[in-house]
Amino acid sequence: GAGVSQSPRYKVAKRGQDVALRCDPISGHVSLFWYQQALGQGPEFLTYFQNEAQLDKSGLPSDRFFAERPEGSVSTLKIQRTQQEDSAVYLCASRDSGRAVETQYFGPGTRLLVL
Amino acid sequence: DQQVKQNSPSLSVQEGRISILNCDYTNSMFDYFLWYKKYPAEGPTFLISISSIKDKNEDGRFTVFLNKSAKHLSLHIVPSQPGDSAVYFCAASPLDFGNEKLTFGTGTRLTIIP
């Protein structure tokens, strides 16, 4: 079956521009996570949804970052007024249930470069 | 503060030999540990996991060992194959409902030499 998909795969933005990154989770998956991976680092947690409810947004680095999942399926991560330090790969993952013992399945990521 | 540490950024192993990747953690609230494998331009792919009630989990060529008292886990791959060349991330999570985010290490790049 289809895995997690993300679009666009690559995005170049000018500093100050707003960007929107899309995640299509595996169909029926309840939980959805966003992670940020800087060069040479491991993925770092940004935010977590269970269905349409955003249960944890403690990893969002500033109020310029906003995520939504209005119908409990597709999610969008929006970054306003992008800065150079926002350059990273943004990974989305989905999971079948709300239990931690279920595996998180990752998408290929969106590579964002802010000039 | 890095709660999950992979102190070896890279490792080279001869094909057919055993690869051992190590991971240390500091947060005693972690109950569930995972290894992910990542190829360039792809997302991380789940490899194997272990919960804190076990000290070993095996799946084919892959075995994960957990030493809770030392807060240390390791991934053994035997025999190593060229397709195992990738970056390996250790990750950890508590098992509290609503707090299931994964905390990752910085990764170890494994190169299998033919």
10-residue mean pLDDT series, chain A (115 residues): 90 97 95 94 94 94 96 96 97 81 88 97
Residues in Cβ contact with B80 at an 8 Å cutoff, skipping those fewer than 6 apart: B13, B14, B15, B16, B17, B18, B19, B112
HSE-CB for A6 with a 13 A CA cutoff: 28
pLDDT at A103: 83
pLDDT of B41 higher than 90: no
Contact B64, B73 (CB under 8 A): yes
Q: How far apart are CA B80 and CA A50, in angstroms?
A: 38
Structure tokens of B44? 């991380």
* Chain A residues touching B43 at Cβ < 8 A: 4, 91, 93, 106-109
How many contacts (CB atoms, under 8 Å) link A and B? 67
A 47-76: CB under 8 A from B? 48, 50, 55-56, 59
How does strand B108-113 pair with strand B10-14?
parallel
pLDDT at A99: 63
Interface contact A2, partner B, CB < 8 A:
no
Of the candidates B14, B35, B19, B10, the residue with the CA atom closest to the CA atom of residue B78: B19
Nearest CB among A40, A103, A107 relative to B43 is that of: A107
**Each residue's pLDDT tens digit, B7-35:** 999 999 999 999 999 999 999 989 899 99
* Chain A residues touching B8 at Cβ < 8 A: none
CA dihedral sign, ordered B45, B51, B55, B57 = negative
**Each residue's pLDDT tens digit, B64-96:** 999 999 999 999 999 999 999 999 999 998 877
Nearest CB among B42, B100, B107 relative to A42 is that of: B107
The verdict on whether omega for the bond into residue B79 sits within 30 degrees of 0, i.e. cis, is: yes
Indicate left, alpha or beta for A51 from its phi (over 0: left) and psi (-120 to 50: alpha).
Answer: left
- Within chain B, how many helices (H) and strands (E) appear? 0, 11
B46 contacts A103? CB cut-off 8 A: yes
pLDDT at B97: 61
Residues in Cβ contact with A63 at an 8 Å cutoff, skipping those fewer than 6 apart: none
Of all residues in chain B, the one with the smallest CA distance to A59 is B101
